[in-house]
Amino acid sequence: MNNIIDKLNNLDHINLSLCMQCISCTNGCPFVHIMEHPPHQIIRFLQLGFMDKALSSNTPWICVGCNTCSYNCPMAIDISLIFDVIKEHVIKNKLPIPEPSIFEFHKQVLNSIKKYGRVHKLEVMFNFKLKSKDLFSDITIGLKMFLKKKLHLRPPNFDSIKQLKEIFESIKYEK
């Protein structure tokens, strides 16, 4: 578990010992109300070596990466990058993912980008709803989006799909 601390310490803008628990990150977070632990508490878990609490929290998975926490941090700690490292560690080590539906949605988005070069929102939504076995809970929202031309039947055009597929192959991305 300490390898996550080593990885964090080797990144720019990450020095966990600089965090003074001022809670500026938490105060700026627009999603803190649905997080299991506020961002500053995840940093504290890492500082104190409570890796299991940091890795099992839903907080990094709820985070949308808006970087408000990092911008608010007076010590310029890149908190959203810390959350990315935590998620990467959980996935690579096949640990339980606290928010599997969020992870599944991200996979569907990446699959769409790999396939079309851009996000085909209708297909992403359909595949996600199919995987989650929850086809109709958001149907009214989907219909509104379709009627406002936010969802298209055909995927978007992308001229450089070959280069994009090479990028996905170079990082060994699998569905």
Q: Which among 23, 57, 92 is the end of a domain?
A: 92
Whether residue 31 sits in one domain with residue 111? no
Q: Which among 92, 124, 146 is the end of a domain?
A: 92
Residue 48 has pLDDT above 90, yes or no: yes
35-47 per-position pLDDT tens digit:
999 999 999 999 9
Q: Which helix (H) or strand (E) holds 5?
A: helix 2-9
Residue percentage of the chain with pLDDT more than 90: 61
Total structural domains within the chain? 2
Whether residue 83 sits in one domain with residue 104? no
Residue percentage of the chain with pLDDT more than 70: 97
Whether residue 112 sits in one domain with residue 71? no
Question: Is residue 125 in a domain?
Answer: yes
What domain range is 58 assigned to? 2-92
72-120 per-position pLDDT tens digit:
999 999 999 999 999 999 999 999 999 999 999 999 999 999 889 889 9
79-90 per-position pLDDT tens digit:
999 999 999 999
> Within a 10 A sphere around the Cβ of 103, how many other Cβ atoms?
15
Give residues with Cβ within 8 angstroms of 48, minimum separation 6.
none
Question: Is residue 150 in a domain?
Answer: yes
59 close to 37: Cβ distance less than 8 angstroms = yes
